[in-house]
Structure 1
Amino acid sequence: MLKRITFFVVVLVLVKPIYDYGSQWLDEAKQFLNANEVVIQDATSEVISTVNSAKDTLIHTTTAATQTPPDAELPAKVQTVEELADSFYYYLSRWENNFEIHYVGSTADIEQIIQSAVDEASNRNHYILGHLAERKIEYEYSRFDAKIRVHQTYLTNAAQEEIVNKKVAELLSTVPVESMSDFEKVKFVNDFIVKNTAYSTESTASPHSAYAVLHEHKGVCQGYALLALKILEGLGMETQYVIGEVYTGGHAWNLVKVDGDWYHLDTTWNDPTPDRKNIVRYEYFLIDDEQMKRDHTWKTSDYPEATNLKYDFMAQIDHAYEQDGLIYYSNVNDNDILYRVDVNTGETTRLTDSRAQFIVGYGDWLYFSNYSKGAYLSKIRKDGTDESILFREEVNNLFVEDGYLYFSTNDGLKKMEL
């Protein structure tokens, strides 16, 4: 009994996201267990075990359980682990903080029954799983009856999730989902999150939530990965939320299935820090297990294998501009020289000897900051011909809007009609 209770308490402790404390959670769990004694008394005693923790609390008593009014959409009683999991999932998916479930059946292994139901319910939806925080479970039981009371906290809430759902729906309404390839969908999500988010813990909402990343444009790896999961699933992509470790501690990213093969996607590590506004990296974009293992670790048995190398070429891309299946970019593997790649074939072409950053396009032309010539504003045709300098001062942060090219200089923002 002591071992089963201890195991249950450990599992509850681990519900707290690892991103709050990194690898510190294991030491805290050990210290907690060493400092708290689980007391086993006679079954007729009211309180069998009381465990208190800053993270989770488990209280269970052996009194005659009484039936509580059932939820209108749930049965008054549940009789199996599956039905118990259904009830847990019902409340978790509605971001309920306090709820009660009446279980009728043998309680000989009640701790394991509850834990199995919680695990099954949590794993039904990785988006919910990633937002679970502290949990306290109390239960009263007799031989064939248990009243289970749950206090669950989240990294989000129902009101915030309404906003997330609305904003994601609005975002997806702006793209031609039906005509997009799997690759285009993943790139759209990666680029959207990176361009609109600054890695930061200084958010009003939890920086670990998708809400903070989408609504406040701030967050950490957990929020990045959960928002990516949400949008990718909205695009009809099969996606998983991955929990692992990097050199700084706990980390989260995604696995996504593209044209039948699994790949890793780490939107957090594709976002340059400090934030570079519209600049997107692709070093961790649709890569395989072996590449990911260079600096990421995870429990591989919990996730599908990613072995395809089709999109390896994306890792060399920086300052990208994409049009008609072609990406024009600064090649990080060749001194930031301006290149072009066909995303369908992976064929690359060097367009010039100039080092290019802040690349944008309009019509037949590319515009960029030419770091081979003082970071001056330059233009070149998309076939690599007719390169010339337009403005002989250092420029950056180029963008095109309403037929004008905008760029920043030491004297502020300037514009040029195209």
Structure 2
Amino acid sequence: MLKKLTFIVILIVLFKPAYEYGTKLFNDVNQYLNHNSIDISDAANELITTVSTGVSDLSSTVSKMIAIDSKSSELPTEVKSVEDLADAFYHYFSRWETNFEIHYVGSTSDIENIIDRAINEATSRDQYIEGHLADRRVEYEYGVMDAKIKVDQQYLTNPEQEKIVDEKVAQILSAVDPNTMSDFQKVKFVNDYIVKNTAYSEESSASPHSAFAVVHEGKGVCQGYALLALKMLQQLGVETKYVVGEVYTGGHAWNLVKVDGEWYHLDTTWNDPVPDRGNTISYQYFLINDAQMKLDHTWIQANYPTATNEKYAFMKQVDHAYEVNGYMYYSNVEDNNLLYRVNPQTGVSEKVTNSRAQYIVGHGDWLYFSNYSNGAYLTKIKTNGTEESILYQTEVKNLFVEDGYLFFSTPDGLKKMALE
């Protein structure tokens, strides 16, 4: 006579803490237009779009997402070991299937433990899948040498959403050539993309804990941030871990990344200022070690690689970064937001000017920024620190360069200026 037993597994979904990076710095200034030969025109009605040229072959990307080993690609009608049972679970998990049945043939004297071991082995094969698992209900009927296992598995995503994730990630990564990028550049690219294009929010149509919500809706919480970073970095060839831990408000998720053979922590969520500040990126939690991370994060350290290197500790002082010719130009948060530059390979920093700079962009040999030492006026300076001058005597912010023009926001709206 068969016995029947049911058990339920509930996976805890993480919640991101509220995290503030401080208030914005703006000076009250008398606004007036400096009459000169610079042509500055209204750009409020222009539609600024960036079209990615060329999309990678999506079939290879999708195949990576659902790739499984030869044992689980064609499931036998019966499985006879923990390993085979794990293959079966992974087969269904990797296809985001919600209801399935597995026929196990073998001793059932320890059937509950056998199922638990198989599920743990299956989920450990792919952290991206593991991070998207939600509620699970397992029922099984068994005799002495036979068990029918029925599974109701819920996910934070579905096959249709994952197809969109694969396509969108392929499009994003088509803009870069990983063969010409260092590990540092790959990690920075992913961090910057996610921060610039995401606002921390639980108000998404899809689960805010999913990578889909972050990449498709531009909204999400820490779990979605970290899972998308995991997927993007792995596809760029960077060894990456998905980390689950806690902060002062509860559960949290982030990543560990291996850069030039050394492990570092990367918290894209806490690098994204709250409330959202558009293209502004913090690097307080960019390539830091265990000691620094432990100041406000906790995790089961035995479950993850150790991170002890301090090579990129200088990134904590970086704000409003702009990269050109092997240097990163930035507003130094540890020196009154003065304009600095650093060589990321050596970590050697130097002051460029005594002006306080934000919203730094560049074109050719020139840098452009909001000069908070002088009314937040639009200012330009050579990359070597010479020929600094004010271009527009009105408070400006949100600078960006596109199609040979410098765009910036003013109290009167979006403006543009032709660049030489």
Counterpart AA for 1:310: K
Which residue of structure 1 aligns with residue 38 of structure 2?
Answer: none
Which residue of structure 1 aligns with residue 276 of structure 2?
Answer: 275
Residues 1:88 and 2:89 aligned together = yes
Counterpart AA for 2:12: K
Residues 1:16 and 2:12 aligned together = yes
- Closer, same or farther in 2 for the Cα pair 1:117/1:20, shift >3 Å? farther
Counterpart AA for 2:13: P
Which residue of structure 2 aligns with residue 98 of structure 1?
Answer: 99
3-state SS of paired residue (1:378) = strand
Tell me the CA shift for residue 323 of structure 1.
1.3
3-state SS of paired residue (1:207) = coil
- Closer, same or farther in 2 for the Cα pair 1:72/1:221, shift >3 Å? closer
Residues 1:314 and 2:320 aligned together = no
Tell me the CA shift for residue 314 of structure 1.
0.7
3-state SS of paired residue (2:74) = coil
Which residue of structure 2 aligns with residue 163 of structure 1?
Answer: 164
Distance 2:17 2:369 in 1: 42
Tell me the CA shift for residue 73 of structure 1.
2.1
Distance 1:260 1:361 in 2: 32
Tell me the CA shift for residue 20 of structure 1.
9.2
Counterpart AA for 2:265: H
Distance 1:275 1:310 in 2: 29
Which residue of structure 1 aligns with residue 138 of structure 2?
Answer: 137
Distance 2:390 2:176 in 1: 35
3-state SS of paired residue (1:350) = strand
5+ residue gaps in structure 2? Answer: 19-71
Which residue of structure 2 aligns with residue 117 of structure 1?
Answer: 118
Question: Conserved in 2, the CA contact under 8 Å of 1:263 and 1:306?
Answer: yes
Distance 1:145 1:116 in 2: 17
Q: Which moved more, 1:153-162 or 1:169-178?
A: 169-178
Show CA shifts across 1:117-172 (max 9, x none). Answer: 01110111000000000110010001111000000000000000011111111222
Tell me the CA shift for residue 19 of structure 1.
3.2
Which residue of structure 2 aligns with residue 398 of structure 1?
Answer: 399
Tell me the CA shift for residue 237 of structure 1.
1.0
Alignment of 1:155-304 (within 5 A): 155-304=156-305
Question: Conserved in 1, the CA contact under 8 Å of 2:73 and 2:91?
Answer: no
Question: Conserved in 1, the CA contact under 8 Å of 2:14 and 2:253?
Answer: no
Q: Which moved more, 1:79-88 or 1:168-177?
A: 168-177
Counterpart AA for 1:328: Y
Tell me the CA shift for residue 298 of structure 1.
0.2
Counterpart AA for 1:183: F
Show CA shifts across 1:318-371 (max 9, x none). Answer: 011111221000001111110000011101010111110000001111100001
Question: Conserved in 2, the CA contact under 8 Å of 1:357 and 1:370?
Answer: yes
Tell me which of the two structures has the higher relative contact order, counting C-alpha pairs closer than 8 angstroms and 6 or more residues apart.
Answer: 2
Distance 2:395 2:17 in 1: 43
Question: Conserved in 2, the CA contact under 8 Å of 1:16 and 1:132?
Answer: no
Alignment of 1:55-70 (within 5 A): none
Distance 2:200 2:248 in 1: 17
Question: Conserved in 1, the CA contact under 8 Å of 2:14 and 2:222?
Answer: no
TM-score for the superposition, normalised by structure 2: 0.84
Give the structure with the larger helix fraction. Answer: 1
Which residue of structure 1 aligns with residue 383 of structure 2?
Answer: 382
Aligned-residue CA RMSD in angstroms?
1.7
Counterpart AA for 2:273: P
5+ residue gaps in structure 1? Answer: 23-70
Tell me the CA shift for residue 17 of structure 1.
2.1
3-state SS of paired residue (1:230) = helix
Question: Conserved in 2, the CA contact under 8 Å of 1:17 and 1:132?
Answer: no
